[in-house]
A = this chain, B = another copy of it.
Amino acid sequence: MEKQFVIIVAGGQGLRMGSSTPKQFLNLNGKPVLMHTITKFHEYSNEIEIILVLPNDHFSTWQSLCEKYNFKVKHKIIAGGETRYQSVKNGLSAVTSDGLVAVHDGVRPLVSKTLIEKCYKEANVKGNAIPCIEVNETVREVMNEGNRQLNRNNIKLIQTPQVFIVEILKKAYELPFSAEFTDDASVIEKAGNKINLVNGEKQNIKITTELDLKIAEYFLANVQN
């Protein structure tokens, strides 16, 4: 397989948690969320190049945590930007060869090695791989006037890791920033590429609230990962 990179985006300030601790540093089963996430990629492949994008003012906290937890998984640290878009773009500057690059949320520690592997493999064949899950609720779309029911069988909630061929993602990130760029798939779609959806995992949640942390603990205790 091609050379593999992962950009782990950990830019969040944790404001939604109502605490001053950024959510990627919160403790999950004995170690910070972000260490779980990084370790998952390292366990998938110890040859993968791990690029961690952190806000500048979290560098020293992260360094202290790595010392405290004796965290030895090799990773390169890059300063984040004002937006997620800018953070990923900064991360891409550390991707120094061709190959495949995953972009993954630092606060998705429950991603499985199976899903990581599937996304790299699919992207290698199809140019990209974007994991998604079904929605269980009835879904409506608000329009200029009124709203309408959507066919929920066609609605997908998007996750990470989103994996791309390096040169395609770099090319897409030459586009100017737009508010509609809520993930990387939206950037490469805007650049004219077709999106290749793959089945994600329900337990691959994004930890943004105190409840999410409890759910993550539940999955760690109850679901084979």
Contact = CB atoms under 8 A, between A and B. Distances in A.
A7 interface: no
Interface in A107-148: 130, 132, 135-143, 146-148
Given A189-B149, A195-B147, A138 B158 contact: yes
A74 interface: no
Interface string A174-192: 0000001011011001000
Interface residues of A, number: 42
A154 interface: yes
Interface stretch (A40-48, A64-72, A87-95, A211-219): A211-219
Given A138-B158, A139-B156, A158-B138, A146 B218 contact: no
State the 10 A-B residue pairs at the shortest beta-carbon distance, nearest first: A138-B158, A137-B157, A142-B154, A138-B183, A138-B182, A140-B156, A149-B186, A214-B218, A141-B154, A146-B194
Majority-rule SS of A interface residues: mixed
A155 interface: yes
Given A138-B185, A139-B155, A141-B154, 18 more contacts: A130-B140, A132-B140, A135-B135, A137-B206, A138-B186, A140-B156, A140-B185, A141-B150, A142-B155, A146-B195, A149-B186, A149-B189, A151-B180, A152-B182, A210-B222, A211-B215, A211-B219, A214-B215
Contacts of A185: 138, 140, 149
A143 B155 CA distance: 9
Contacts of A149: 180, 182, 185-186, 189
Interface string A39-83: 000000000000000000000000000000000000000000000
A159 interface: yes
A28 interface: no
A199 interface: no
Contacts of A219: 211
A197 interface: yes
